[in-house]
Amino acid sequence: MLVVQKFGGSSVADTDRIKRVAQRIIETRNAGNDVVVVVSAMGDTTDDLIALARQVTDDPPPREMDMLLSTGEQVSIALVAMALIAAGCPAVSLTGAQAGIYTNGIYAKARIVRVEATRVKQALREGKVVVVAGFQGVDGAQEINTLGRGGSDTTAVALAAALRADLCEIYTDVEGVFTADPRVVPDARQLTEISFDEMLELASLGAVVLHPRAVELGKLYNVPLVVRSSFNNKPGTLIREVSDVEKPAVVSGIAHDSNVAKIGLFDVLDQPGIAATIFSALAAEHIDVDMIVQGAMRDGRNDIAFTVKRNDLRKALDVIATIKDKVGAKGYTFDEDLAKVSIVGAGMVSHPGVAAKMFDALARAGINIEMISTSEIKVSCIIRAERVADAVRVLHAAFNLSQNG
């Protein structure tokens, strides 16, 4: 078998852990497998590097930021390869560029467009364990791009797809995917398996245990994906395509995202092209817009509010300042202390009343809902950031998720 194993920051946080990771890799190899390893930066290295940049400037150029952040993973690949070699296992470390991970040139949130795995395959043929830096790639101009926070998962799945690996294991600091973040809900239940679609929804809605793009690629290329702990040998959670004969859970999990800001524009003109102008301008700056609410029209004028990631707020406000006159807005506001809490479940579509139950549970806890968005498989509410942990716990209890589903 060919196995891709990805180890997150906490799994390689110090040199003892790196040695333990090396032992696990060697066990996998001794069991007769070829192993490709993807690693993240050690512990909080990425956060520390961001803080370092902020000490130099408030507005680091995106290119230099990616140059800086990509160094974190370069430290860990070298140390993991050294630990393997010291334990008698042939190994070689490769940066994203050396491993043939090609990206689309968007700094800080690049997408992998192509994997040219010839060098990885060659090293495997030479009997080596290949240790690849996660979270980074290189664009057509040889510039280093990073994939967005949590992006090492995506490197692992993209490599697994390109190599047609038999399995991609994501080793982290929890035992698998739970019905909610186990750090927020202590009695969250671990799922033995979950469908790609539900996992994609949870990840996109803020469950950081997997990077959304990793789940998307897993589904697209049918990569068997397992999330498990690097601290024990428990089997973890299998993410897979579910056959439609099975009855999906009404609500299978709660996700939350504390990285939310809202911008509201007042009294924009009510005519064709206004929304297009606003959201094209934001898209041109690669700002992801999440929820959009347009209020009822009065006197030929509308209010439009939308949410973005908090770390995109500054950029988004700059964009709005440049187009506000063009759309006839009389003013705009922003709010950066928001969060999103969501219920996810493939069975929701056939169960009316699920959203009402969510709103009722939040109301009973005195949590005000500022915006709502729904799809067949989820309901999301924007609330004050300071209530998000309460909201997750209240919803987890309301939908009885601690009980076996």
Burial label for 333, CB within 10 Å (0-12, 13-18, 19+), is exposed
Is 306 a binding residue for ligand ASP by CB under 6 A? The answer is no
Residue 70 amino acid letter = S
Query: According to CB under 6 A, which one of 34, 66, 73, 181 is a site residue for ligand ADP?
Result: 181
Q: Which does 307 bind (CB under 5 to 8 A by kind): ligand ASP, ligand ADP, Mg ion, none?
A: none
Is 249 a binding residue for ligand ADP by CB under 6 A? The answer is no
Phi-psi map region of 214: left, alpha, beta (phi>0 left; psi -120 to 50 alpha): alpha
Phi and psi dihedrals of 366, rounded to 5? 70, 30
SS3 of residue 56 by DSSP: helix
278 touches 224 (CB < 8 A): no
- Considering the complex, state which of residue 120 and residue 133 has its C-beta at the smaller distance from ligand ASP: 133
Token digits of residue 25 = 């890799």
User: Which among 2-10, 72-80, 219-227, 367-375 is the span making contact with Mg ion, rule CB under 5 A?
Assistant: 2-10
Is 145 a binding residue for ligand ASP by CB under 6 A? The answer is no
CA-angle at 142, arms to 78 and 51, nearest 5°: 60
319 touches 329 (CB < 8 A): no
Q: Which residue is associated with the tokens 């690669």?
A: 286
Estimate to the nearest angstrom the gap between the alpha carbon of 314 and the chain centroid.
21
Rounded to whole angstroms, how far apart are CA atoms 97 and 91? 18
The alpha carbons of the chain give a radius of gyration, in whole angstroms, of 22
Where in 131-160 is the site for Mg ion (CB under 5 A)? 150
Among the listed residues 51, 38, 41, 32, the one whose alpha carbon sits nearest the alpha carbon of residue 12: 41
Where in 235-274 is the site for ligand ASP (CB under 6 A)? none
Is 212 a binding residue for Mg ion by CB under 5 A? The answer is no
b/e string for 74-106 if b means 16 or more Cβ within 10 A?
bebbebbbbbbbeeebebbbbbbbbbbbbbeeb
User: Which among 21-29, 151-159, 163-171, 196-204 is the span making contact with ligand ASP, rule CB under 6 A?
Assistant: 151-159
Query: According to CB under 6 A, which one of 102, 107, 178, 306 is a site residue for ligand ADP?
Result: 178
Is 11 a binding residue for ligand ASP by CB under 6 A? The answer is no
Is 41 a binding residue for ligand ASP by CB under 6 A? The answer is yes
Phi and psi dihedrals of 402, rounded to 5? -70, -25
Neighbours of 344 (CB within 10 A): 28
- Considering the complex, state which of residue 6 and residue 262 has its C-beta at the smaller distance from Mg ion: 6
Helices (H), 232-347: 274-284, 313-323
- Considering the complex, state which of residue 8 and residue 236 has its C-beta at the smaller distance from Mg ion: 8
User: Which among 136-144, 172-180, 294-302, 320-328 is the span making contact with ligand ADP, rule CB under 6 A?
Assistant: 172-180
Among the listed residues 324, 328, 182, 320, the one whose alpha carbon sits nearest the alpha carbon of residue 253: 182
Query: According to CB under 6 A, which one of 33, 40, 145, 146 is a site residue for ligand ADP?
Result: 40
Q: Which does 10 bind (CB under 5 to 8 A by kind): Mg ion, ligand ASP, ligand ADP, none?
A: ligand ADP
- Considering the complex, state which of residue 137 and residue 182 has its C-beta at the smaller distance from ligand ADP: 182
Is 152 a binding residue for ligand ASP by CB under 6 A? The answer is yes
- Considering the complex, state which of residue 83 and residue 202 has its C-beta at the smaller distance from ligand ADP: 202
Is 43 a binding residue for Mg ion by CB under 5 A? The answer is no
Least distance in angstroms from the C-beta of 300 to ligand ASP: 46
Is 134 a binding residue for ligand ASP by CB under 6 A? The answer is yes
Token digits of residue 152 = 């090492």
Query: According to CB under 6 A, which one of 18, 39, 163, 207 is a site residue for ligand ADP?
Result: 207
Rounded to whole angstroms, how far apart are CA atoms 320 and 322? 5
Q: Which residue is associated with the tokens 């094209």?
A: 280
Least distance in angstroms from the C-beta of 70 to ligand ADP: 16
Is 174 a binding residue for ligand ADP by CB under 6 A? The answer is yes
- Considering the complex, state which of residue 213 and residue 396 has its C-beta at the smaller distance from ligand ASP: 213
Is 195 a binding residue for ligand ASP by CB under 6 A? The answer is no
Q: Which residues contact Mg ion (rule: CB under 5 A)?
A: 8, 150
Q: Which residues contact ligand ASP (rule: CB under 6 A)?
A: 8-9, 40-41, 46, 72, 134-135, 149-153
Q: Which residues contact ligand ADP (rule: CB under 6 A)?
A: 8-11, 40, 150, 172-174, 177-178, 180-183, 202, 207-209, 253
